[in-house]
Each structure stands twice: as structure tokens, then as C-alpha cells.
Amino acid sequence: MEKLNARLLNWASILDPQTREQAIMTSAMPFIYPHLALMPDAHLGKGATVGSVIPTLGAIMPAAVGVDIGCGMIAVRTQFTADDVATKGAGADGAAGKTLAELREQIERAIPLSAGGRNQRISATAQPRIAALEAAATPEQLARINGLAGSWPQQLGTLGSGNHFIEVSLDEADRVWLFLHSGSRGVGNQIAQFHTAVAHTVMARYWITLPDKDLAYLVEGTPEFDEYIADLRWAQAFALANREEMMDRVVNQVERWMDAPVVEDARINCHHNFTQKEHHWGKDVWLSRKGAISAREGEWGLIPGSMGTASYVVQGLGNAVALNSSPHGAGRAYSRSKARAQFTQDDLRAAMVGIEYRDSDAFIDEIPAAYKDIDQVMADSADLVEIRHTLRQIVNVKGN
């Protein structure tokens, strides 16, 4: 850990100057308490750095949570092993075996994948989740959410694009894990943009000048703050339910492919873009984790690598100085445009050898080399989490 100033502590051994300056700027906001913690995967973000843990007193900056409210990971450990997968691939009694490409295609048919993707019908498993989300909102709040993104029920159970993914992986004991990354989709994005614009309006109303307009904040005790917190919590619940719905569908497709029911030995579902009230250093604060997971002592968490690299199942060490937090992934080393200029589809193919995936130039900007070295990120996290399982992909599903 490196102390950059009295209000900024850094766990990232790989930190470019722009990201450092952005984090310093955010840490100077007057309501930060006790300090901002910069995680090992830190990289440049909008307003606040991705990979930062931001405790605030009496105010919240909507852009410091991010536009994909509640984005996070879910993982299921099954009873299946690599041998079970190989047996299905070999077939039995002379019959043709099943390919991992067939499993990938089944998952792609079951879950809408790309930006703007939505379900054509509401599944039986999604109906009670949608009903619960409707019941969790006041009539006024639900009207506001419907006005921002009226198709949100059709978005429940959809993946999205960018760095979101679904994977079938094996751990160090060759046990099969199902692993996916997604958030609150279009509705969370619209909620975040709406309240960020409200914060900009509030700053203008009171003639408040900021070093970056996306550090605009809402003050606790105001109607604007209360509406944001209510919508934020709703979007976080949507993201959690979205991952559960997708995972149920992935489990169903694996059962069909394996011709056997999945026995879940573990299911872990955690946010890495969220805000909640927590107690740190003697005070109750609003803790915003923008690209970071909660890592209280013994708490299970998920830290994915990039496309084609290892991912980790971890338990928190409860590092109080790091505000009981840890990184959420590898963190970008190249912007998407720079990655596309630097790497080719052949580079991606070489990085994905041995993994079943959809061969498309749409994923060039997701190549592992566009991200920080996940092994270095985990080494930097040695005092934040303990690694319990290391996962290697055998199937990768992504949206354009």
C-alpha cells in the first residue's frame, strides 16, 4: 500500500499518471472521510476512478457509483468435473459426443446478449422477480423508473456487451463452475444518467464550482438525495435479480447438455458498482465502491480476470484501512479505441486457444492484453483477500 496523500491510499502497483491525478482530485472533495482507497485494478473513469472505494459524509456523487448501478458477478459451483465434460464430448456406445460449441450456442439462445438486447417474452422464472421489483418501489418511484426505461421487465435476464460475459470454468480441482458478469442494464444506466443530471442542476443552482463536473453531488436530507438513494437501491436489486435470472438459465442449459441435473455446491452473488451505508473509522458513511467488492473478514467474493485469463473466488480479510474492500477485476490498461488500434483478431485467437468462444472481431477490445495482468492485481491484493479457488475458462460467451 502506498500513501499518495493524507486522504488517498493506493494498492495499485500499475497506475498511470492520469488515473493517479483523477483519484487525487476526487479525494480532495470536502466530504470524503476518512480517505479514498484506490484498488489494484484502478483505471481512468468518468468523474471518479474505476477501482476506487469512496466513503462520504452527508453527500453522494452519482457518477462515483457509475452508470451500471449494481454491476457485479455471480458464480455457481456444480458437482460436475472436467472428466464429466470430457465424457459428454466423447459420447457413449459409439454415439457422437456433444461439443462445447453446442453448449455455448445453447446459452447464447437462452440469454439475450448484446447492447439493447431484451427478452421477447417474460419467462416463468422472471415473473416473480419482476413482481418483487414492482412491489419494492413506491407508485411515484415506479412511474419515474418506467418513464426512464419502460422496457425494464424485458431486460431482466439479459447480459449486455463490453466486458460482461458468461463462462463455464474449471477450478484447481477440475470442478465445473458457472460464472457471469452483468449489472442493471439499460434501466440502471438511465437511472444513473438522470440523477447525475439532477446533481449537475443542483450544483448550478447553488453556484458550486467543481474540478470536474462529474463530481457533482447530492446532499443528504434533500429530496434529490432521497430519490437517488431509493432509485439506486432499486437498481441494485434489479442487477442482483438479473444475474440470478441469467444464472438459472445457464444452469438449465448445462443440465440439458449434461443430461443430468446440476447440484449447486455454492452460489455467490456480489456487486462491484454500488453504494451502501457502512460504519468505518468511527462514523457512519455512504460507501461507494466503483469497481470494487466488499471484502469483510470471511466474506465470499468474485474477482474475474479478462477474456481468456484466470478468475478468482476469494474471501475477504477485512482490511480496515482499505475500507473492507478489494478489486473487482483486472482493470483496463488500454482504452477500447487504443486496444482496437493495437491488437488484431489473430492476436485474440492466439490468446483464446483452448477456450470455446464466438470468433468475432467485435471482441478485439476485450483481448487480455488490453487489461492489467490479473496475476499482478491479485498479488497487490494479498492483504485484502485470500484466494480460495482459481478458475480457468473452457467456454466463453459475450455480446457484441
| pLDDT for res 95 | 63
Report pLDDT for 94: 58
| Contact in structure between 56 and 215 (CB atoms under 8 Å) | no
Residue 93, pLDDT score: 60
Query: How far is Cα 234 from Cα 243, in angstroms, rounded to an integer?
Result: 14
* List of the chain residues with pLDDT < 70: 92-95
**Cα 43 from Cα 21, distance rounded (Å):** 11
User: Helix 100-110 vs helix 223-258: angle between axes, to the nearest 10 degrees?
Assistant: 140
pLDDT at 356: 95
**Catalytic, out of 181, 271, 272, 328:** 328
DSSP per-residue codes, 9-49: EE--SS--HHHHHHHHHHHTSTTB-S-EEEEEEEE--SSS-
69 burial type by CB count under 10 A (0-12 exposed, 13-18 middle, 19+ buried): buried
Domain that holds residue 368: 2-397
Give dist(CA 272, CA 68) in Å, integer: 10
Cell representation of residue 286? 455512504
Domain count, the chain: 1
Active site residue 328: yes
What pLDDT was estimated at residue 331?
87
Q: Is 30 exposed, middle or buried (0-12, 13-18, 19+ CB in 10 A)?
A: exposed
Domain with 267 in it: what CATH number?
Answer: 3.90.1860.10
105: burial class by Cβ within 10 Å (0-12, 13-18, 19+)?
middle
pLDDT the model gives residue 387: 98
Q: Looking at residue 182, what is its pLDDT?
A: 94
Q: What is the pLDDT of residue 8?
A: 97
Residues 6+ apart with CB under 8 A from 335: none
Burial of 91 (0-12, 13-18, 19+ CB in 10 A): exposed
pLDDT at 41: 95
* 311 in Cβ contact with 328 (< 8 Å): no
Question: What integer pLDDT is reported at residue 245 of this predicted model?
Answer: 96
